[in-house]
Structure 1
């Protein structure tokens, strides 16, 4: 584990997002008009960029390949106000994610994680005492970077820091194993699943019941519900806030934006009203889904 860093340390993937806005259903064996945009992405990096824009001091820890794409992504982080703690992996390619966005805003993602899979414990700085670690679940769901995620969590808790973690995605999470994930994240202060992930983690069909079940394991559980808003569960309390109105263009990165908005308020006022934290997260999510791309 490397030296300490101030504020928030985000651990996760840094990648090139190729966003494909489809004008209709895919046409196998033929052509379909689409608007295609390339920009910076990666779940962890998205959270870091949004936090920086909200004025939260943030360091991003991750890996890129020794290519022009990697150098560009690191420069983009720095320009956004993020402190990069990014290792260049010789011989590896920078991660790339292709997001196919349907006309209703829903998307399918094709991921080549590339150099992100080389993340090692020494790549992750420990937050300064009183700081915060946010761990993107993708860092746990592959055997290679899992050691870095576990080491980062242990070091942060030993330093007296709070820890948040999101489960990342239901498919990889199911393959990884629910009980294994729950054990790996037992030291987390805050978990941030979406509705499908919360159901998978708890076996509860009702999202409120799932949020309560997670709050029995973690100090705080926040479950995002898409168009229905979000739930905050802590102890015996349960708070719901509706989503902010938005014209849906692209849902890519909405969860990352929500995480950053919520963390920016919760970290500044950890004993404050959860409504304010939820509202900040929902405002960030609404802004992101109204435009193409995750940032």
Structure 2
């Protein structure tokens, strides 16, 4: 798969504090790549260096093998929204398309098509300040893709969206990837990241912690968890083989299993006296991996970084 964006050994400091160190990853054509980390991890600084808003102290950023990234080939949805509030929706979309040297006639056609797709038909003459937060988010998203970018950077794209609008965004982001757009996505909504992304790059304290295919990361870092609904003694469950810890919430018990447990074989350890109304076994979620790292847990320290 063709590599569109390459970030190699990126470093950036502000005064005496190094904010990012030796950050290295790539984004490939037609994939959705997640860049993740707790607040202060260095995600925004990394994105701003890619966008040319900041300049790195160390390392290189290249696009399709070239050091200079043509601005018209990049779409950017920032976390902090910046549309002119007193400007009409169509005017702002055409203005931003013109800044990317995109043909205005084609931009108008695409704008009308996307406004209809995102349930904003008839809003082209409304000012941005007249729109709800969710509607404004849709217009901001349209502005980032109206010029058909080859690389799309999305920073918290689902912010302010209701579930229906989230589904619209998810569908469109997948469509863009299927049509060859390279997408770098930053979000704190781990369930959506886990559902949508092909690979991930997770940062903490300015450095890479985890990097790899989503499935490989889950296999390497996400041990199995068995959830049992039924009234059971926590101490008895904790004494079962290969159970690292047990958490209980009312009549639901969550058994966190040791690494490399063979799930089907482990189930044979459950005693017949166990109260089971429902039982499921799966790997811990990306959300739980994220929480472990954000709270200085030991997932990454025990395993090291996964390589793509």
Q: TM-score, normalised by structure 2?
A: 0.30
Between 1 and 2, higher relative CO (CA 8 Å, sep ≥ 6) is seen in 2
Greater radius of gyration (CA): 2
Q: TM-score, normalised by structure 1?
A: 0.31
